[in-house]
Amino acid sequence: MKIGIEIVKSLEALVDSEENLIANLANTSSLLMSSGNYHWVGFYFVDKEQDELVLGPFQGPIACTRLKRGRGVCAKSWESKKTIYVEDVESFEGHIACSSLSKSEVVIPLIVKDEVVAVLDIDSAEIQGFSLSEISIFESIVKVIQAKW
Ligand code: SME
């Protein structure tokens, strides 16, 4: 595992005194990226008007700006309201390769008042790049952010 549970405390301290969402999401991306050896970390917001996902604060290579419903890992997390772990992106039909270096991916929905408002997407350059305890830490990070939404 690349990150430890202490990252959740660091994040709480980081966002505690700031209410600006973009600032908090930008620093969350940076904290994750600098703590773990990830290929890409960032957020996609639900754009209700366009009924698609739009790129938010992130760290890593340039990414797809918009993701449509019904295709890809982020859309699956949005639509199912569940964490999705894809151990090998080649085996996920409809995976959207913003970067060909991404080999595995975890997407966690941010749910506020029972509605998905955004997703946190983390990509690894390794197949099976995530442990289950690491994914549970991502979910704790999302809980901290949801509480600030
Ligand atoms: N792979 C994602 C697209 C976003 S990028 O990985 C940054 C997907 O299939 O939805």
CATH number of the domain within which 70 lies? 3.30.450.40
Nearest to 110 by CA among 56, 76, 149, 71: 149
Ligand 1 binding pocket, CB closer than 6 Å: 40, 63-64, 67, 72-75, 95-96, 98, 102, 105, 121, 123
Per the domain annotation, does 104 fall within a domain? yes
Nearest atom in ligand 1 to 40's CA: 7
89, 93, 95, 106, best to mutate for ligand 1 pocket (most atoms within 8 Å of CB) = 95
* pLDDT value for 54: 98
Q: How far is the CA of 28 from the centre of ligand 1 (A)?
A: 18
Per the domain annotation, does 70 fall within a domain? yes
* pLDDT value for 44: 98
Q: What is the mean pLDDT of the chain?
A: 96
Per the domain annotation, does 63 fall within a domain? yes
Per the domain annotation, does 1 fall within a domain? no
Nearest to 34 by CA among 14, 53, 16: 14
> Residue 57: is its pLDDT beyond 90?
yes
Per the domain annotation, does 44 fall within a domain? yes
> Residue 50: is its pLDDT beyond 90?
yes
> Residue 103: is its pLDDT beyond 90?
yes
The answer, as to whether pTM is greater than 0.85, is: yes
Task: Residue 93: give the domain boundaries.
Answer: 6-148
Q: How far is the CA of 123 from the centre of ligand 1 (A)?
A: 8
| Residue 120 DSSP SS3 | strand
Nearest atom in ligand 1 to 102's CA: 6
Q: How many independent structural domains does the chain possess? A: 1
Angstrom distance (rounded) from CA 76 to CA 94: 10
Sort strands 66-68 and 52-59 into parallel, antiparallel or unpaired: antiparallel
pLDDT-based confidence at residue 1 (cuts at 50, 70, 90): low
